[in-house]
């Protein structure tokens, strides 16, 4: 029907090469792939290497080994470490991130310069939130060892659409996250800025991520709404991002009930692969999560056939 065409669904797998991927990452990748394919969407592989101090070539390789072991395909993105380095690394988009930062800086009262050290921030408040001591100082943005922070006014809640329930969720950004950093002291764009800029650049409108990242979702939507409310190069893309669907899935925990960490340990995909284990155990974990009997899930096509989006969303 003319006029009722929806924008195509675009999602992404966005690992950070800061350690060896674990089962929880693999679960998230398969779930993202599954839901995107079920909805006929396009899938992007985006490797978040903007923090060059943590990124290492062996971790980039581990991402490709993991995707290969899982058998996941994607529509846009590098097919290996060489292509990643040559064309897709975030260092190729530093100019774009700078342009986002300029737009944010030009938004009245949104961004300010902060010279506080980690120790000073710790001393200001024991719950780890930055108290905004530099807000009124009007420090120069160009100074050395200066971070750029976003002023999140008191009692700022951010609402976003949670895909699983179809409901609007509310996140108390000011009291849980506070004034967050968009440009680090070393001059590099910070994670929240980079992730948002890339999602806008690629037109991402469906984001699957762990439930530990609800705060990032809220921070990024807050930035997107600020950018979307003003004239600028990123206005339309930012407005679209603010309307994106988010699916925050439960995390896979270890036997002690703790979050998994990126290491070469027994929960790593590296370990599973090296010890001859098969990816079916990840597919089955995703099947169980999606409310499907897992006994017959041997492959990704099996998973694609067996899972119903209505069941996942609790409509049946
Ligand atoms: Zn400060």
**Model pTM?**
0.93
For tokens 């600028």, name the residue.
Answer: 232
Q: How far is the CA of 119 from the centre of ligand 1 (A)?
A: 11
Q: How far is the CA of 133 from the centre of ligand 1 (A)?
A: 5
Residue range 148-174, pLDDT digits in tens = 999 999 999 999 999 999 999 999 999
Residue 91 pLDDT greater than 50, yes or no: yes
pLDDT at 124: 76
Instruction: Say how far apart CA 243 and CA 223 lie, in whole Å.
Output: 13
**What is the bridge-based pairing of β-strands 10-13 and 157-162?**
unpaired
Give the tokens for residue 281: 């155990």
Q: How far is the CA of 176 from the centre of ligand 1 (A)?
A: 18
**What is the bridge-based pairing of β-strands 157-162 and 167-172?**
antiparallel
Q: How far is the CA of 145 from the centre of ligand 1 (A)?
A: 11
- Conformation bin of residue 193: beta by default, left when phi > 0, alpha when psi is -120 to 50: alpha
Mean pLDDT over all residues of the chain? 92
The conformation of residue 277, written as its DSSP 8-state character, comes to -
**What is the bridge-based pairing of β-strands 111-114 and 167-172?**
unpaired
Q: How far is the CA of 127 from the centre of ligand 1 (A)?
A: 16
Report every protein residue that has its C-beta within 5 angstroms of ion ligand 1: 114, 116, 133-134
Which residues have C-beta within 8 Å of that of residue 45, sequence separation ≥ 6? 12, 13, 67, 74, 76, 77, 78
Find the range with the poorest average confidence among 60-69, 115-124, 257-266. Answer: 257-266
Find the range with the poorest average confidence among 71-80, 176-185, 214-223, 249-258. Answer: 249-258
pLDDT at 249: 94
Pick 290 or 118 by higher pLDDT.
Answer: 290
pLDDT at 3: 47
Residue 127 pLDDT greater than 80, yes or no: no
Residue range 35-44, pLDDT digits in tens = 999 999 999 9
Q: How far is the CA of 124 from the centre of ligand 1 (A)?
A: 10
Q: How far is the CA of 220 from the centre of ligand 1 (A)?
A: 21
Across the range 82-104, mean pLDDT stands at 96
pLDDT at 316: 73
pLDDT band for position 2 (cuts 50, 70, 90)? very low
pLDDT at 315: 78
Alpha helix (H) residue ranges in the chain: 23-38, 57-70, 81-83, 94-105, 118-124, 173-176, 191-202, 214-228, 235-242, 269-274, 280-289, 300-306, 309-312
pLDDT at 255: 77
Q: How far is the CA of 132 from the centre of ligand 1 (A)?
A: 6
Residue 4 pLDDT greater than 70, yes or no: no
Q: How far is the CA of 193 from the centre of ligand 1 (A)?
A: 19
Q: How far is the CA of 144 from the centre of ligand 1 (A)?
A: 13
Q: How far is the CA of 304 from the centre of ligand 1 (A)?
A: 49
Pick 81 or 1 by higher pLDDT.
Answer: 81
Backbone angles phi, psi at 119, to 5 degrees: -60, -45
Residue range 38-85, pLDDT digits in tens = 999 999 999 999 998 889 999 999 999 999 999 999 999 999 999 999
Across the range 198-202, mean pLDDT stands at 97
């Amino acid at each position: 029907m003319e006029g009722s065409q929806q924008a195509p669904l675009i999602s992404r797998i966005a690992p950070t090469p800061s350690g060896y991927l674990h089962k929880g990452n693999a679960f998230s990748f398969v779930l993202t792939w599954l839901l995107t394919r079920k909805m006929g969407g396009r899938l992007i592989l985006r490797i978040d290497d903007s923090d060059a101090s943590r990124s290492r070539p062996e971790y980039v390789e581990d991402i490709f080994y993991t995707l290969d072991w899982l058998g996941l395909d994607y529509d846009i993105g590098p097919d290996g470490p060489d292509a990643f380095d040559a064309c897709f690394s975030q260092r190729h988009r530093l100019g774009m991130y700078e342009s986002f930062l300029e737009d944010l800086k030009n938004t009245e009262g949104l961004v300010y310069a902060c010279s506080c050290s980690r120790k000073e921030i710790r001393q200001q408040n024991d719950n780890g939130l930055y108290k905004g001591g530099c807000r009124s100082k009007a420090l120069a943005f160009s100074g050395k060892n200066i971070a750029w922070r976003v002023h999140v006014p008191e009692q700022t809640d951010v609402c976003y659409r949670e895909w699983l329930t179809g409901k609007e969720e509310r996140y108390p950004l000011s009291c849980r996250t506070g004034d967050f950093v968009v440009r680090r002291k070393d001059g590099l764009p910070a994670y929240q800025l980079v992730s948002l800029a890339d999602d806008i650049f690629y037109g991402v409108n469906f984001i699957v991520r762990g439930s530990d990242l609800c705060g990032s979702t809220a921070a990024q939507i807050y930035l997107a709404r600020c950018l979307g409310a003003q004239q600028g190069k990123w206005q339309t893309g930012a407005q679209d991002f603010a309307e994106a669907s988010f699916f925050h899935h439960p995390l896979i925990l270890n036997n002690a009930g703790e979050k998994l960490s990126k290491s070469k340990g027994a929960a790593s995909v590296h370990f599973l692969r090296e010890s001859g284990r098969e990816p079916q155990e990840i597919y089955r974990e995703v099947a169980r999560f999606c409310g499907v009997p897992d006994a017959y899930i041997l492959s990704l096509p099996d998973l694609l056939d067996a899972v119903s989006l209505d069941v996942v969303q609790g409509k049946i």
